[in-house]
Amino acid sequence: MAKPKIEPRLPKGMRDFLPAQMIKREYVFNIVREVFHLYGFEPLQTPSLELTETLMGKYGEDADKLIYNARHTEGKEELSLRYDLTVPLARVVGQYQNDISLPFKRYQLSPVWRAERPQRGRYREFYQCDADIVGAQSMLADAEIISLIVTTLKRLGFKQFVVKINNRKLLTAIGEYAGLDGEPLANLYRSIDKFDKIGADGVRDELLKRGIALEVTDRIMELITRKLPGTEQLDYLDDVMSSFSAARAGIDELRQIARHLQAANVPADAYEFDFTMVRGLGYYTGPIYETVITEPNLGSVTGGGRYDELVGLFRGESLPTTGTSLGIERIIDLMDVLDLYPPEIGGTVVQVMVSVFGEDTQDQAAALAAQLRAADICTEIYLQDRALGKQMGYADKKQIPVVALLGPDEIAQGVVKFKRLRDGYEITTPNAEAATAVRSLLTR
RNA sequence: GUGGAUGUAGCUCAAUAGGCGGAGCAGCUGAUUGUGGAUCAGCAGGUUGAGGGUUCGAGCCCCUUCAUCCACCCCA
């Protein structure tokens, strides 16, 4: 065997997913897709590459530097790997106005690429999972998104989580109240966004450092940190902030969302209003939401909100849009941490391995495999001529649950023997009943 | 982009003060040619990330470079 000359290595920040890992990832992907379909979201796929001009300038200068350029040496088009799924969505909505009827509900579960410095849980190629509703002004759309999040997380097995809901209009009003606009307002958001990390005192210090008057800072802190049950929190803010029209509008939207969520039977403990939650600086214009795993405290797994100005970029008009991004990579990590994978998904998709005793029994083994496959049982036939013990060892290592034994004795009697590796239990059954026998061994 | 740490077998890590590069796991063979895990015996696996320097002698010290990890920045 020649020694490999090429060092097997991965590009920085990129990963392989070996079969045992892929099985888990696809389990999560499949549940997500199921729930999204349940809510009437439909799949969208766009190319990994976009024209560079489609991407550039949509994210801000910092982010533009993180975009992978992918132009072919002799290609005439400037191409880049997509940086998120929102810009492709906006392009699609602008491009297929004949084919898409609004409101457009789509989801996309695809990799994106960002040339960031890799860190724990942060990669240069990673999957994003976005669900958005384009062209719906109503808060019913926002409530649908929140309900979708709650159902998805529940189906995945998460128990203790809460969707935090805020409204950009409220934050704007708070900025107005503090006399801030533009860049200083963005900085205010940045400070408040660190609430989880640096706590109330930390945020207060930052606001003071940013030159906001002591009295105003204390008012802001009071406004955003006061915790009251359910919509009482909205009542309180309404009292204090009603002189600001942006605040009134924001609170009104949150009240509508609360009403819709209640009507849709979303459990009240699955969401809360949290005025310290900001969601970056970006393009949000209305309600924003973020889901945190609360017990144990494991951080956020979804983020989203309403962004009425972005999708119209490729259409020359605003299009009211709301949506969420599932932190699917983070969710996959937490599924392991919280042990949420059902035991029946093992390290392999194979349900039965048909062992082969020798060349003279190969054909019967192949026939048995075909028979099991016809009955929708995932079947592997052992492909080397090795001692039965080796074959058993292989099956054991791969965690294949059942091995079929079809030697000269069985063949002579027209039967097949199956062994369940977990407990060593064996049954012998007539050939015709092979599939039924395997099924009985696989259940429980 | 800034700062710190670490690079030794496929993986996880040893190696006295600078003095013959080891172990566990994984792999392969056998004990056991119709039955896996456990045990035992054996085999194989290396340019110590790369390049240079100091030294009689470098895995170890110095310089450069590359890679990985961690923290910060950022995260639309």
The whole-number average pLDDT for the span A44-61 is 89
Using 50, 70 and 90 to split pLDDT, how confident is the model at A229? Answer: confident
Residue of A162, A135, A134, A168 lying closest to A149 (CA atoms)? A162
Which residues in chain A, range 295-314, keep a C-beta under 7 Å from any nucleic strand B atom?
303, 307
pLDDT at A281: 64
pLDDT at A5: 58
Contact, A70 vs A47, CB < 8 A?
no
Reply yes or no on whether the pLDDT at A209 is more than 60. yes
Give the side-chain half-sphere CA count within 13 A for A26: 12
Q: Is A125 left (phi over 0), alpha (psi -120 to 50) or beta?
A: beta
Strands A415-420, A402-405: pairing is: antiparallel
Q: What is the pTM of this model?
A: 0.91
The reported pLDDT for the residue numbered A372 is: 97
- Distance from CA(A268) to C1'(B50), angstroms, rounded: 60
A183 touches strand B (CB under 7 A): no
Band of residue A350 on the pLDDT scale cut at 50, 70, 90? very high
- For A4 and B45, how far is CA from C1' in angstroms? 15
For residue A120, say whether its CB is under 7 Å from any atom of strand B.
yes
Q: Which nucleotide is nearest to A58 (CA to C1')?
A: B76
Nucleotide nearest A123, CA–C1', reads B75
**A5 CB and strand B closer than 7 A:** no
Report whether A150 contacts A266 (CB < 8 A): yes
Q: CA-to-CA distance for A352 and A399, rounded, in angstroms?
A: 10
Work out the pLDDT band at A3, boundaries 50, 70, 90: very low
Is the pLDDT reported for residue A351 higher than 90?
yes
Q: What is the pLDDT of residues A92-126, one digit of tens each?
A: 999 999 999 999 999 999 999 998 888 888 889 99
- Per-residue burial over A68-107, b = 16 or more CB atoms within 10 Å of its CB, e = otherwise: bebeeeeeeeebbbbbbbbbbbbbbbbeeeeebeebbbbb
**Does the N-terminal peptide bond of residue A103 adopt cis geometry, omega within 30 degrees of 0?**
yes
CA neighbor of A86 nearest in space, from A122, A44, A120: A44
Pick the more confident residue, A430 or A334.
A430
Closest nucleotide C1' to the C-alpha of A310:
B76
**Structure confidence at residue A4 as a pLDDT band (50, 70, 90):** very low
Nucleotide nearest to A394 (CA to C1'): B36
**What tokens does A250 get?**
């924001």
Instruction: Give me chain A's average pLDDT, please.
Output: 89
User: Is the C-beta atom of A190 closer than 7 angstroms to strand B?
Assistant: yes
> Which nucleotides of strand B are protein-proximal, with an atom < 7 A from a CB?
1-2, 26-27, 29-30, 32-37, 67-76
Assess: ipTM above 0.85: no
> Distance (Å) from CA A162 to C1' B62?
56
Question: Which pLDDT score is estimated for A194?
Answer: 82
Q: In 3D, which of A237, A313, A315, A251 has the Cα closest to residue A286?
A: A251
**Integer Cα distance of A67 and A178 in angstroms:** 36
Residues lying close to strand B (Cβ under 7 A), chosen from 329-358 of chain A, are: 357
Is strand B less than 7 A from the beta carbon of A392?
yes
| Best CA proximity match to A287, nearest among A153, A102, A135, A163 | A163
Mean pLDDT of A243-257: 92
At A326, give phi and psi (nearest 5°).
-85, 130
Least confident of A45-59, A273-287, A390-404: A273-287
CA–C1' distance A56–B31 (Å)? 68
For residue A444, pLDDT over 60 is answered with yes
Cβ contact A189 with chain B strand, < 7 A: no
Q: Stretch A353-370: mean pLDDT, rounded?
A: 93
Q: How far apart are the C-alpha atoms of A67 and A57, rounded to whole Å? A: 11
CA A20, A25, A26, A27 torsion: positive or negative? Answer: positive
Name the nearest CA neighbour of A85 among A104, A112, A59, A66.
Answer: A112
Residues 254-283 of A with CB under 7 A from strand B: 279-283
Q: In Å, how far from its chain's centre is CA A149?
A: 10
Residue A70 beta carbon within 7 A of nucleic strand B: no
According to the model, what pLDDT value does residue A14 have?
Answer: 87
pLDDT (tens digit per residue) in A53-78: 999 878 877 778 889 888 888 888 99
A186: which nucleotide lies closest, measuring CA to C1'? B76
What is the distance in angstroms measured between the alpha-carbon CA of A404 and the sugar C1' of B28? 25
Percent of chain A predicted with pLDDT > 70: 98
A12 touches strand B (CB under 7 A): yes
User: A127-136, pLDDT tens digit by residue?
Assistant: 999 999 999 9
**For chain A, which domains are there?**
13-158+300-345 (3.30.930.10), 161-293 (3.30.930.10), 352-443 (3.40.50.800)
Tell me the average pLDDT across A310-323.
Answer: 90
